[in-house]
């Protein structure tokens, strides 16, 4: 089968992850040291597991900062590991595990990548019924800033329909309250 016949039918979708400056990541991680030390539910989840909206909401400040820094919610692993290692060198108390610094760094980098993977998964799939209204609204604002890469490596803004509908419903409800 010629290559042109296979176009648009699946295949490799591995895009190069954006390289973010180590210094910027270090600043972001320092700001969220308390979350980084204990990522709550994301300490044990894998990429293949279902998204845990409650655990994601607990990590909201970290997610918000990462999405503000890199809208694709993807970060190249090398600068992330470097930033984590530098952070650990300045604050060794972060590593409360029995593992050495480089192992801890790799484990935290993997945990952060799982968290970001679940953010992208949630953007693709839509809202969550597990969150209260205020939690959902707060998370939605950040998820709408995520830019997914849909094909050929070109970034495209992808807001799933449930988020768009929910925003319209909230706006209409607020208009009705203000008019009455």
Rg (CA), the chain: 18
More confident residue, 125 or 86: 86
More confident residue, 174 or 90: 90
Domain assignment of residue 69, yes or no? yes
Domain assignment of residue 1, yes or no? no
Write the pLDDT tens digit of every residue in 67-82: 999 999 999 999 999 9
Decide if 53 contacts 131 (C-beta within 8 A).
yes
Q: Is the dihedral of CA 30, 31, 34, 36 positive or negative?
A: negative
The arithmetic mean of pLDDT across residues 31-47, rounded, is: 92
Domain that holds residue 107: 16-179
Count of the separate structural domains present in the chain: 1
How much is the pLDDT for 149? Answer: 76
């Amino acid at each position: 089968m010629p290559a042109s016949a296979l176009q648009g039918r699946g295949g490799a979708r591995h895009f190069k992850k954006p390289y973010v400056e180590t210094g910027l990541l270090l600043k972001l991680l320092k700001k969220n040291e308390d979350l980084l030390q204990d990522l709550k539910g994301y300490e044990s989840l894998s990429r293949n597991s279902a998204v845990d909206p409650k655990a994601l909401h607990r990590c909201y400040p970290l997610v918000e900062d990462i999405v503000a820094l890199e809208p694709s919610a993807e970060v190249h692993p090398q600068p992330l590991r470097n930033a984590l290692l530098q952070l650990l060198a300045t604050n060794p108390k972060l590593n409360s595990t029995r593992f050495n610094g480089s192992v801890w760094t790799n484990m935290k980098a993997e945990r952060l990548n799982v968290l970001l993977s679940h953010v992208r998964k949630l953007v693709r799939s839509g809202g969550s019924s597990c969150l209260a209204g205020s939690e959902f609204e707060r998370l939605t604002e950040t998820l709408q800033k995520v830019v997914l890469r849909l094909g050929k490596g070109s970034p495209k803004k992808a807001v799933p329909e449930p988020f768009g509908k929910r925003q319209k419903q909230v706006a209409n409800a607020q208009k009705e309250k203000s008019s009455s």
